[in-house]
Amino acid sequence: MTLNDFVFACPVCRGELEELGADSLHCSVDDLTFGFEAGIWRFLPPERATALAQFRQEYETVRRSEGRGSDDPAFYRALPFVRGNGTRMNADDTEMNQQISQNKKIGKKSDKSAQSLMKNSWKERARRYERLVGQVVTPFEQSWQRPLKILDLGAGNGWLSNRLAARGHVVAAVDLGVNEWDGLGAHRHYETDIVCVQAEFDKLPLAAGQVDLAIFNASLHYAVDVAVTLGEAVRVLRPGGWVVVVDTAVYQHPASGQQMVAEREAAFLQRYGFASNALPSENFLTPARLNQLAAALRLRWRKIETVPTWRRWIRRAKVALRRQREPAQFPIIIFATEGTEVLEG
């Protein structure tokens, strides 16, 4: 079934879907019907919605606590460039979350510290977005000379989808969350045309071979098995397409990432009463894991640094002097199939 230039398929069997009406698609093989509600295609089967309920509830609890969202459409349209009191932090910035939780012990100073951390978080997000556009999106635009078909995987409130659609591309925003303040429902604030899809990354409701760029937007670390999740994104790529990973922590040593996870879970348990680990996610990447994934899926990969070398060295020196664990890096990771050119930045 083709809608808005995307060819939908059953997320269970990957078979063709029959159009029952303007707002309904049906899979005769699995006897499943998928509806279009409030501007969002709902491709989450009932049993998967039940299995993911705890994860979704805890995720939204954390984000509510952080003061997510705004009543002003201009807030969403400006993302990731947000200033002043409207600044919000992305819940995927786990180290920031951890620091804010620790700052609660300080008392009155914690609000000011949290605001500063949040502002810095969006500043970093904006810089990585500009790097993504400059080193990934623009070269693709110049190479293909046509609107690109892009998946925003982990779209959240759709800020990246909005930015890419404004550049003239055909974009599908994919996420589990559908609320109007932090999920796909926030599409109502945008003036661009975005295809909103509630679905799992491991079971994309799309036919194979149709996407130019599949961008994991601060989301690949939630995968229970990155090889499965990455493989599904590769399945829907057309020849010459890329899978791009943005805002997922990369550590040189697995022990550093494991320590980060333990620290985050302890901080969340103290602050929220749960560790926020309903899914046994991989949580981070390492060069060794990236090599393993590339070998298993017959891919090539490279990274684009988003922080100047001198800044990375200064930070490493500071944590070494303080005897802290290795800091996370957040490069842009590009995966391409063998034989596909990976442009150098």
Domains of the chain (ranges, CATH numbers): 2-337 (3.40.50.150)
314 pLDDT more than 80: no
Report the pLDDT averaged over residues 138-143.
95
Mean pLDDT rounded to a whole number for the chain: 87
Q: How many CA atoms lie within 13 A of 5 on its CB side?
A: 15
Cα separation, 17 vs 320, in Å, equals: 56
Stretch 232-242: mean pLDDT: 97
Average pLDDT over residues 90-96: 42
Q: At 326, is the pLDDT very low, low, confident or very high (cuts 50, 70, 90)?
A: confident
Pairing mode, if any, of strands 332-337 and 237-246? antiparallel
Mean of the pLDDT values across residues 144-157?
Answer: 97
pLDDT at residue 319 greater than cutoff 70: no
* Spatial distance between the Cα atoms of 131 and 345, rounded to a whole number of angstroms: 10
pLDDT at res. 308? 63
For residue 45, the one-letter residue type is: P
Helix, strand, coil tally for the chain in percent (to 5) = 45, 20, 35
Q: Which residues contact 156 (CB under 8 A, 6 or more apart)?
A: 90, 175, 177, 182, 183, 217, 218
Largest Cα–Cα separation, the chain = 64
- Split at pLDDT 50, 70, 90, the class of 91 is very low
Higher pLDDT, 219 or 308: 219
pLDDT at 296 over 50: yes
For residue 234, the model assigns a pLDDT of 98
pTM: 0.88
Each residue's pLDDT tens digit, 204-218: 999 999 999 999 999
